[in-house]
Amino acid sequence: MVDNAREAAHRAASDAEQIAWVDEHDNLLGGLVRSDLRERGLIGRGTYIMLFNSAGELCVHRRTLSKAIYPGFWDVAAGGMVQADETYAESAARELEEELGVSGVELTAHDHFYFEDSESRLWCSAFSAVWDGPLILQPEEVLEARFIPVDQVLEEIQQKPYCPDSLAALKRYLKAQENHVAKEA
């Protein structure tokens, strides 16, 4: 278990990162400190990586209580804010390794969409990957993680707090998968 001082120091460093600042069309305007972007209600870029195992189960994890947005919520995707000097794909690979200790996997890009709620305004890129190895959780950001069937995830979102931004990514992913299967039938 991580101590509160270490978690607070991580949060402060995270809030000071230079994040990609974009307009309503996802054109890069520059870099801004994460906390400034959030406080001013400006638009950033975010990545969402849905990690599946070869059995088709989805990795869900619980965020630490020190997270600025959705503390303690369950999450269906690793991911985070794109730094000012990164592409979406670079950010996705970095975030997957940082949060869950997964690297060297093929990331499949799925979707690019805009998300907005009372907590954030983001242009989002969603990816997926398959991993059957061990998870190495980043203790400053992830309390616990487990692989569960997608049907169970869809049941849990009715009873537990799940991050709405990553749920949007998952729902769009599942709808695209349904459409793909329907086209092949």
From the list 55, 58, 37, the residue with the least C-alpha distance to 135 is 58
97 annotated binding-site participant: no
Reading phi first (left if > 0) and then psi (alpha if -120 to 50, else beta), residue 80 is in: left
Q: In a 10 Å sphere around its CB, with 0-12 CB exposed, 13-18 middle and 19+ buried, how is residue 23 labelled? A: exposed
Q: In a 10 Å sphere around its CB, with 0-12 CB exposed, 13-18 middle and 19+ buried, how is residue 179 labelled? A: exposed
Q: Both tokens of residue 94?
A: 């970095």
| Cα–Cα distances in angstroms (integers) from residue 136 to residues 98, 101, 142, in the given order | 9, 4, 10
Kind of pairing between the strands at 43-52 and 121-130: parallel
Binding residues: 95, 99
Binding residues for Mg(2+): 95, 99
